[in-house]
Amino acid sequence: MKSSSAIVFGGASGLGEAAARELVSAGHTVTIGDLNEEKGAALAEEIGVDFIRADVTDEDSVKAAIEAAATTEGGLRICVNCAGVGAAGRIASAKHGAAPLAGYEWAININLMGTINVLRLAAESMIGNEPDERGERGVCINTASIAAYDGQIGQTAYAASKGGVVGLTLPAARDLSRDAIRVMTIAPGLFDTPLLALLPEEARKALGEGVPYPNRLGQPEEFGALAVHIVENQMLNGEVIRLDGALRMAPK
């Protein structure tokens, strides 16, 4: 795909930041959408892109961000959604009883409903595009997690929310196939993001050593590189790609 307009939700840090950087390097015009205005604005200034405050769970907020990104010639053609949250806690225990339902609602609302919200509104915008030189109108890339497949003890809320993202990928791609819009999902494993940076170095090293090969944590730029490749490779559609170095997580 030639130089196109792209938006990255959750683009102020971590995997989203890496996706934004790699898309810029590939020649695309990028808008960063994120709740963190300080980090988002600073990154946007650094890499020469636009920033807009966006909450993936809010329809008006996402619409405004997509409309801003779609003002460039050719309309919005690339949407990457990396916005998400972690959630931990056993579903029930003898000591604490059933886990609060609010925790599940929170994780599913952001990780799954937020993804659906972004996907449907980005697709709506892309449907109005003229087909490009390949006959394509756009590509949407979602972010799941390998926890969707082998979630660990205490990850029921997180795994459920990401499992929903995995499950919607193929039917969404089928829905949008007549409009020449592709839908893909990346399911990352253990990546060296700001979340893991909070752990002691010894703990981070141990996590990386659990990855079969390469025997380390993933680098955010590897996620970004895959996002760019998905944009460029038209045959990638309706699939979830595990980006995990062959890691299969143990129960704990």
- DSSP 8-state code for residue 217: P
For the purposes of burial, counting CB atoms within 10 Å of the CB of 234, is it exposed (0-12), middle (13-18) or buried (19 or more)? middle
Query: Catalytic site residue 149?
Result: no
Residue 12: CATH number of its domain: 3.40.50.720
Residue 191 lies in a domain: yes
Position 251 in a domain: no
pLDDT tens digits for range 40-58: 999 999 999 999 999 999 9
In a domain, 59, yes or no: yes
252 lies in some domain = no
Q: Which domain holds residue 180?
A: 5-241
Domain annotation covers residue 248: no
In a domain, 249, yes or no: no
Q: To which H or E segment does residue 38 belong?
A: helix 37-47
Q: Centre a 10 Å sphere on the Cβ of residue 60 and count the other Cβ atoms it contains.
A: 8
Active-site option among 104, 149, 158, 213: 158
- Reference 164, options 189, 141, 188, 147; nearest CA is 147
Q: Is residue 71 part of a domain?
A: yes
Q: Is 80 exceeded by the pLDDT of residue 176? A: yes
- Residue 137 dihedral angles phi and psi, to the nearest 5°: -105, -20
Phi then psi for residue 156, to 5 deg, are -60, -45
Q: How far is CA 37 from the centre of its chain?
A: 18
10 band by pLDDT with thresholds 50, 70 and 90: very high
193 vs 238, residue with greater confidence: 238
In a domain, 246, yes or no: no
Give the total number of structural domains in the chain: 1
pTM, full prediction: 0.96
